Structure 1
């Protein structure tokens, strides 16, 4: 008897839950704020795949919780994204996917490196970019291989040498 009741409950849930999920994605079920944010999608909302509607809905919720500064940063990111070529977008997606495969510690390390780079003056950042761009593909590969083969102490010494070349006043993380 218990098994029968459990089975009936599971079947009912399986039949009802998809309906509830899609009902929540109807345009009229969005809050007024979500509708305002997603206004450009209203006329074709029913044609948008469920998964994308869900992402748009969640994105609108995140947008509502952002500060004006966060919204401005996100607008700028979107503009940069829209200005990218399809090849550039593909490269960004691939890099992001690789980043997601890293351990949390590795991700944090990369975030610290990015923040360090962003803390440099625009001139220093540009000089570093130019130096890297002017490096041949073979040289770049050798640099990567050497870096991967270094132990932590060797890497730290190299970082200190690089920092000294860039007159960096404070220590690395």
Structure 2
């Protein structure tokens, strides 16, 4: 579940930055690339009625999908499937955490991403061990543990460290 959170945060940060640069007037269906039209076919009849922000969000998602490898696409499908099975309360909690992430200064967002990359580079057994260890700690112990991991492995600080909640 926490790995899903981080993935949503990282993916959302990229989508949000592209979204912010979008055309506020919306995009006519005819101006979408053939690939975008194919991926967004189910919206073709109602595209012009969609709010411009939703059009841009869907378009950015289609563009991102087009750049993914087959493995990345499979992973994205799996994560979306997981997302749909989450209770609405957990989905809302993830949305709120994503908003918090977006409000971090760029250096801290990059630090979270660095910690995530570091954590994902570990073997699955070690990730599981770190998760379990982290869950059993008090908030003070977690802070100290994050500092120690940053010192040991050179992962940037910024509030989120390897083995922490958003690194899972």
Shift of 1:28: 3.6
- Which whole-Å CA distance do the structure 2 matches of 1:127 and 1:145 have between them? 17
Could you list the per-position Cα deviations for residues 33-89 of structure 1 after superposition, in whole angstroms to 9, with x for gaps in the alignment? 222101122233344222212221232233333333443333333223222222222
Between Structure 1 and Structure 2, how many residues are aligned? 132
The answer as to 2:25 corresponding to 1:21 is yes
**SS of aligned partner of 1:100:** helix
Structure 1 residue 145: Cα displacement: 6.4
Q: Secondary structure at the match of 2:44?
A: helix
Aligned to 2:154: 172
Q: What is the CA-CA distance between 1:160 and the residue it aligns to?
A: 7.8
Match of 1:62 in 2: 64
TM-score w.r.t. length of structure 1: 0.59
Does residue 159 (structure 1) correspond to residue 149 (structure 2)? The answer is yes
Mind listing any 5+ residue stretches in structure 2 that lack a counterpart? 1-23, 156-168
Secondary structure of 1:43's aligned partner = coil
Moved over 6 A (4+): none
Aligned equivalents of 2:115, 2:81: Cα separation in 1: 24
2:126: which partner in 1? 124
Q: CA RMSD in A?
A: 3.1
The 8 Å contact of residues 25 and 52 in structure 2, kept in 1 or not, is answered as no
Matches within 5 A, 1:1-173: 21-22=25-26, 25-135=27-137, 139=138, 141-143=139-141, 155=147, 158-159=148-149, 171-173=153-155
Bigger CA radius of gyration = 1
Deviations 1:86-145 (A, max 9, x none): 22222222222222222322222222222222222222222222233334xxx2x33356
TM-score normalised according to structure 2 size: 0.60
Secondary structure of 1:21's aligned partner: coil
